[in-house]
Amino acid sequence: MCTLAGSLRDHFENHLYGKSGCWGIACSDERDLSCIGGEPKFMELVIDTLGGSNDLRRSFLKHNQDFAHYDADFLAALFRSVGRELA
């Protein structure tokens, strides 16, 4: 089953998982942010449907230009969850 890492999961108020256990989405109204994940085939479909990885990356960074409204623990966990380190 696809799940968020414990420390990141705790920062989202709402969670929805597919019956198959192959995908899930976590949303935070407080942070105006959602995190979606799943099996590679599912994620490829999501990424393509939403304009491709470059467009998604640009949109995310534009929406969160300064990241000042996120606490440091949440931001570090968010970046680790996608295989990046917070610079």
- Interatomic CA distance for residues 30 and 38, integer angstroms: 23
The domain limits of the chain are: 6-81
Which token pair is 67?
């990241």
Q: What is this structure's pTM?
A: 0.65
Collapsing DSSP states into helix, strand and coil, what is residue 62?
helix
Q: What is the pLDDT of residues 39-56, one digit of tens each?
A: 999 999 999 999 998 888
Which token pair is 12?
């989202």
Q: What is the pLDDT of residues 24-41, one digit of tens each?
A: 888 888 777 888 888 999
Whether the pLDDT of residue 87 is over 70: the answer is: no
